[in-house]
Amino acid sequence: MALRKLMDGKVHDVPAPKSLSQVQFEKLKASTQKQKEVLTRIVKSSNVMSAFK
Amino acid sequence: MSCQLLNRAVNYANYEDFSKDFDKFVYYNKYEVEDRESIKLLKEMIADGKTVCHLFYENDLPVGLLSLSFENVGSSDGVALSITALCVDYLFVSYNFRNKNFCTCRISHKILDFAIKTLYDLNNTIGTINNLILLPANNDVKNFYLDYGFESLSGEWLYFSIAK
């Protein structure tokens, strides 16, 4: 779920997509180069590793 | 300013202790009308155990919150398939800290780093959870997430994959 204000002006808990196309579904199975770089930065960052204790 | 955000969520043994700090967080922000409904719904979800909320502090000041849950994301093509993803239910940066840098990046950037690190730790512990998904509140926020590294998934939903 994600909380979001919808067209009716009220906040709803919107469920995650349950009917992705095969192409959309396959996207989830591989990270992009940028996502790899972000993850590498986070894992290697000693600041981040120690920041959330 | 130190480069460390304190995440208090891991320290709470019960909901009542958390609830007191959550209420202080809400009071500190004097939520604008449009956010009050979100906070009310979020608190109900936390109380029902539907989401886990993390409160972030810097020098005892509440700078932001992040609420996470597990969601099944499905495909309807051919044989029905689904995978479990970590979902950002709600991400909020305190009004006083918006558009301000925390060390070299924005608070929201730092909180997203925490979400990705949580995903990474979960994947190392129980495996098979490779994606963080979220639904941005508006186009400005969507562009921030896209700059961070998120990709479009379906409709307004975005995803960040750590799958190899």
Of B5, B116, B154, the CB nearest to A39: B116
With CA atoms as reference, report the closest residue to A16 among B162, B44, B91, B135: B135
| A3-41 pLDDT, tens digit each | 887 777 788 888 899 889 989 999 999 999 999 999 999
Partners of B56 in the beta sheet?
A: B7, B64
Average pLDDT score over residue span A42-46: 80
ipTM of the complex: 0.85
Average pLDDT score over residue span A44-50: 60
- Domains defined for chain B, CATH in brackets: 6-161 (3.40.630.30)
pTM given for the model: 0.88
Angle at which helix B33-47 crosses helix B15-29, to 10 degrees, equals: 180
Residue A37 CA neighbour count, 13 Å, CB half:
7
pLDDT at B131 over 50: yes
Domain that holds residue A9: 2-51
What total number of domains does chain A contain?
1
Beta pairing, strands B131-134 & B81-93: parallel
Confidence of residue B96 (pLDDT cuts 50, 70, 90): confident
pLDDT at B13 over 50: yes
CA-to-CA distance for A14 and A30, rounded, in angstroms? Answer: 25
Task: State whether A3 and B41 contact (CB < 8 Å).
Answer: yes
